[in-house]
């Protein structure tokens, strides 16, 4: 697997990427990509969850192999941490082709995208993360590349300008985004397969945790895995991060084996509650309840009051709060749901005693 950094240098996926890439994605803050790469499943059998997507992909791959053609371009969307990059790696391994990984903010100049396209070999997969952030020029270079496998390059100025059509090898583009709605129509239309990744069930996450524990030589009971899974917000990236924290706790305070009690005790200490909410999530709900009577209130106001970035709130906190039914999105802003009030142990406005 090749990871392309922002300056177009190919990295070998061994950790230099984070130092070179100035763009810190909110979902990656404090997250070690090297660790994530080391535990990524490489086959459909070891990739847990997303069963509908896996079944569709297996058929698509089989058909492409029978036809001896590259795969259709694919778009995966959904909240961060659900395995969009991982599934792209599994697809590449299954097809027996290389994958080049980059992200839209690293493709700022036309020569960035041109350079990558020209470096591709037949059948290879190009993975572009955060594809909704691609600029107009890069998008327009991609259209003929995706559709006809050509690069349309203009040389010279105004009247003397000539368009040069450069053939490209047949490749597959896999785009990933947390915001499918922000993709332009023409770009979206060029993907043959568009699939949403779903949050994982507790059982699926417990299996992810047990698999990771085995790779990292961490001892954990079934109930210990379930306890961590319940607080992982349906997200394998979070489950894998928590298992490391809980295992540190188990090692230092106990005999090293994670059971249900140890898992719960250490997650309580990390201030991750039984819904998987952390201090920022709870601060967000409390803010709307205490300062804005439960809402609706605009996202910019919330972000400013919490001293957080709007994107972090939108991409990291909100998807799970919405899915868990604790928060509601309305045209006038965000509102805390009755479940959100109950989760924080607060009375709904209608339940509060009126003094006058
Ligand atoms: N680690 C992260 N995501 C995973 C998944 N879907 N299956 C197995 N291990 C994982």
DSSP string, 88-125: HHHHHHHHT--EEEEEGGG--SHHHHHHHHHH--TT-E
Ligand 1 contact, 47 CB (< 6 A)? yes
Q: What whole-number distance in Å separates Cα of residue 247 and Cα of residue 257?
A: 8
Q: What whole-number distance in Å separates Cα of residue 38 and Cα of residue 212?
A: 10
Residue from 165, 166, 109 nearest 134 by CA: 109
User: Could you report the per-residue pLDDT of 102-118, keeping only the tens digit for each?
Assistant: 999 999 999 999 999 99
User: Could you report the per-residue pLDDT of 289-317, keeping only the tens digit for each?
Assistant: 999 999 999 999 999 999 999 999 999 99
Mean pLDDT by 10 residues, the chain (356 residues): 46 38 42 79 97 97 95 96 97 97 96 96 96 96 97 83 92 96 96 97 98 96 98 97 96 92 97 95 97 96 95 92 96 96 92 64
The angle, 0 to 180 degrees and rounded to 10, between the axes of the packed helices 202-216 and 222-230 is 120
Q: How buried is residue 67: exposed, middle or buried, by Cβ count under 10 Å (0-12/13-18/19+)?
A: exposed
Closest atom of ligand 1 to 50 CA is 6
Q: Whose CA is nearest to atom 1 of ligand 1?
A: 40
Residues labelled as active-site residues: 84-85, 129, 178, 237
Ligand 1 contact, 232 CB (< 6 A)? no
- Provide the pLDDT for residue 7: 38
DSSP assignments along 57-95, one per residue: HHHHHHHHHHHT-PPPPEEEESSTTSSHHHHHHHHHHHH
Closest atom of ligand 1 to 200 CA is 6
- Beta strand 193-196 pairing with 172-177: unpaired
Domains of the chain: 2-35 (no CATH), 39-196 (3.40.50.300), 202-269 (1.10.8.60), 279-355 (1.10.10.10)
Ligand 1 contact, 81 CB (< 6 A)? no
For residue 125, how far is the Cα from the chain centroid? 18
- Provide the pLDDT for residue 24: 40
- Provide the pLDDT for residue 355: 59
Q: How far is the CA of 47 from the centre of ligand 1 (A)?
A: 5
- Provide the pLDDT for residue 111: 94
- Provide the pLDDT for residue 159: 80
DSSP 8-state secondary structure symbol assigned to residue 45: T
Distances (CA, A) of 98 to 82, 105, 118, 120, 286: 22, 22, 15, 9, 47
Q: What whole-number distance in Å separates Cα of residue 71 and Cα of residue 192?
A: 9
Ligand 1 contact, 49 CB (< 6 A)? yes
- Provide the pLDDT for residue 255: 80
DSSP assignments along 222-289, one per residue: HHHHHHHHHTSTT-HHHHHHHHHHHHHHHHHHSSS-B-HHHHHHHHHHTT--TT---HHHHHHHHHHH
- Provide the pLDDT for residue 9: 35
- Provide the pLDDT for residue 34: 81
Average pLDDT score, the chain: 90
Closest atom of ligand 1 to 237 CA is 2
pTM of the model: 0.86
* Best of 211, 215, 238 for a ligand 1 pocket test (most atoms within 8 Å of beta carbon): 211
């Amino acid at each position: 697997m090749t990871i392309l950094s922002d300056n177009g240098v190919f990295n070998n996926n061994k950790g230099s990427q984070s130092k070179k890439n100035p763009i810190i994605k909110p979902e990656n803050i404090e997250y070690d990509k090297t660790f994530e790469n080391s535990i990524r499943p490489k086959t459909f059998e070891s990739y847990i969850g997303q069963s509908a997507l896996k079944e569709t992909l297996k058929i698509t791959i089989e058909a492409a192999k029978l036809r001896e053609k590259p795969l259709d371009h694919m778009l995966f969307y959904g909240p961060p941490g659900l395995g969009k990059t991982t599934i792209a790696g599994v697809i590449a391994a299954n097809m027996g082709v290389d994958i080049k990984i980059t992200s839209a903010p690293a493709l700022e100049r036309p020569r960035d995208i041109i350079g990558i396209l020209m470096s591709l070999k037949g059948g290879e997969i190009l993975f572009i993360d955060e594809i909704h952030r691609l600029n107009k020029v890069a998008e327009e270079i991609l259209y003929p590349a995706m559709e006809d496998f050509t690069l349309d390059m203009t040389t010279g100025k105004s009247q003397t300008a000539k368009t040069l059509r450069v053939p490209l090898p047949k490749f597959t583009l896999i785009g990933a985004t947390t915001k499918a709605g922000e993709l332009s129509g023409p770009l979206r239309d060029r993907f043959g397969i568009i699939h949403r990744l779903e949050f994982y069930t507790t059982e699926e996450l417990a299996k992810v945790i047990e698999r990771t524990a085995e790779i990292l030589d961490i001892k954990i009971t079934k109930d210990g895995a379930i306890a961590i899974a319940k607080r992982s917000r349906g997200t394998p990236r979070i489950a894998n991060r928590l298992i490391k924290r809980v295992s540190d706790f188990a090692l230092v305070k106990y005999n090293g084996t994670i059971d249900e009690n140890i898992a719960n005790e250490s997650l309580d200490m990390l201030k991750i509650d039984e819904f998987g909410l952390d201090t920022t999530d709870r601060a967000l709900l409390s803010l709307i309840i205490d300062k804005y009577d439960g809402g609706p209130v605009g996202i910019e106001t919330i972000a400013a009051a919490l001293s957080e970035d709007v994107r972090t709130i939108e991409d990291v906190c909100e998807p799970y709060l919405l899915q868990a039914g604790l928060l509601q999105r309305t045209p006038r802003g965000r509102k805390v749901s009755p479940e959100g009030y109950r989760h924080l142990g607060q009375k709904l406005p209608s339940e509060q005693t009126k003094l006058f």
